[in-house]
């Protein structure tokens, strides 16, 4: 509990400084090296799928066990060192402040009427093509990304922290990293990324739905439309190509009174996404600011609720 709270406060305060030696980079290097070797060896779709399954199993296993062994070794040296390493690892699993920072840069760029700069900044945090977006499209893309990553970058890691500590939280980050690197539903990764994408869907099933609940609560605290947020989650939560991403997006769309989804350009191809929410108003940069506050509210609420539940169940176990 001490490590988790310090890690969350550290991320709230500092985020991930540029050039920071992030463990996810090591995971990414392993995934890239594995893929290069697999594509040299595998000559058909079946062997590529098997290689992808092996990548998924090995990446999660090594991520979990590396942290577990590191913490056990630190414990032999001293509890203080174990506490420090445990806190540091948990801190690296969170991405809330970084997400807010990148979104805020786009707000500043839009306020300065720098549409080209806004498109460039957006391209750093989304996979869709941004070259021809207007302010409305940019704002919508930022809100969708922040809402979705409230689950992937905050609530899900926090959920697994309380469930299984730093090892399980890092295992989740490995799953999420694999999905972002090889989990695409295109010709290149249809077979090699199949296992990574499926495991990511499973790992995010509960956290994504919890995120929508925390966002509804956050909307109430912030004076946003929590009733509409709840209504849109029930109605449109499953209106997404992903089995999970629609729930936090629906909560955000309902709270802000906007419509998300619609056509997007990916690698030169138009992908039509189902609509989420009702268009009660046009989306603008002020909605991005509200989304950032909603993200922080959901984060703080989830941390408090998880802490209370952890204390409750720990007390039952000890008694």
The 10s digit of each residue's pLDDT in 222-273 is 999 999 999 999 999 999 889 999 999 999 999 999 999 987 777 667 777 8
Question: Mean pLDDT throughout 109-118?
Answer: 94
Please give the pLDDT value at position 268: 67
Q: For the chain, how are helix, strand and coil distributed in percent, rounded to 5?
A: 75, 5, 20
The 10s digit of each residue's pLDDT in 31-51 is 999 999 999 999 899 999 999
Please give the pLDDT value at position 3: 95
Please give the pLDDT value at position 264: 74
Please give the pLDDT value at position 189: 93
Q: What is the DSSP code string of 14-36?
A: H---TT---HHHHHHHHHHHHHH
Residue 4: partners with Cβ closer than 8 Å, 6 or more residues away: 90, 158, 161, 162, 303, 307
Asked if pLDDT for residue 108 goes beyond 70, the answer is yes
Which of 163, 178, 145 has the alpha carbon at shortest distance from 62? 178
More confident residue, 315 or 245: 245
Question: Mean pLDDT throughout 51-77?
Answer: 97
The 10s digit of each residue's pLDDT in 126-172 is 878 888 898 999 999 999 999 999 999 999 999 999 999 999 999 99
Q: Categorize the per-residue pLDDT at 317 as very low, low, confident or very high, splitting at 50, 70 and 90.
A: confident
Which of 180, 24, 142 has the alpha carbon at shortest distance from 94? 24
**Segments making up each domain of the chain, as ranges:** 2-318
Q: Categorize the per-residue pLDDT at 87 as very low, low, confident or very high, splitting at 50, 70 and 90.
A: very high
Please give the pLDDT value at position 202: 97
Measured distance CA(286)–CA(143) in Å, rounded: 11
Measured distance CA(253)–CA(148) in Å, rounded: 12
Alpha helices for 223-284 (secondary structure H): 226-236, 246-256
Measured distance CA(128)–CA(41) in Å, rounded: 31
| β-pair type (260-266, 269-276) | antiparallel
Q: How many CB atoms lie within 10 A of CB 243?
A: 14
Question: Mean pLDDT throughout 42-64?
Answer: 96
More confident residue, 154 or 274: 154
Question: Mean pLDDT throughout 201-207?
Answer: 98
Question: Mean pLDDT throughout 210-225?
Answer: 98
Q: Categorize the per-residue pLDDT at 86 as very low, low, confident or very high, splitting at 50, 70 and 90.
A: very high
The rounded mean pLDDT for the chain is 93
Please give the pLDDT value at position 132: 85
Measured distance CA(308)–CA(149) in Å, rounded: 24
């Amino acid at each position: 509990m001490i490590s988790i709270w310090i890690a969350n406060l550290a991320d709230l305060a500092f985020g991930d400084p540029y050039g920071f030696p992030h463990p996810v980079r090591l995971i990414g290097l392993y995934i890239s090296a594995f893929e290069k070797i697999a594509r040299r060896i595998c000559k058909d779709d079946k062997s590529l799928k098997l290689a992808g399954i092996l990548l998924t199993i090995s990446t999660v296993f090594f991520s979990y066990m590396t942290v577990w062994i590191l913490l056990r070794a630190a414990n032999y040296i001293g509890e203080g060192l174990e506490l420090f390493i445990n806190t540091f690892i948990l801190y690296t699993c969170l991405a809330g402040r970084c997400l807010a920072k990148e979104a805020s840069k786009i707000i500043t760029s839009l306020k300065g009427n720098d549409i080209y700069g806004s498109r460039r900044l957006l391209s750093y945090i989304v996979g869709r093509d941004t070259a021809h977006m207007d302010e409305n499209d940019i704002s919508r893309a930022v809100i969708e990304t922040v809402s979705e990553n409230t689950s992937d970058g905050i609530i899900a890691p926090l959920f697994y922290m309380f469930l299984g500590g730093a090892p399980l939280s890092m295992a989740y980050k490995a799953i999420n990293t694999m999905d972002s690197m090889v989990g695409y539903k295109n010709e290149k990764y249809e077979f090699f990324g199949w296992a990574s994408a499926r495991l990511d869907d499973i790992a995010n099933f509960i956290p994504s739905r919890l995120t929508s609940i925390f966002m509804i609560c956050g909307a109430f605290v912030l004076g946003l439309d929590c009733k509409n947020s709840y209504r849109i989650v029930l109605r449109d939560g499953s209106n997404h190509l992903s089995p999970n991403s629609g729930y936090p997006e629906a909560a955000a769309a309902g709270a802000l009174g906007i419509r998300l989804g619609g056509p997007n350009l990916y690698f030169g191809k138009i992908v039509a996404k189902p609509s989420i929410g009702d268009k009660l108003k046009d989306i603008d940069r002020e909605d991005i600011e509200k989304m950032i506050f909603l993200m922080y509210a959901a984060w703080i609420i989830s941390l408090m609720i998880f802490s209370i539940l952890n204390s409750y169940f720990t007390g039952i176990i000890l008694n």
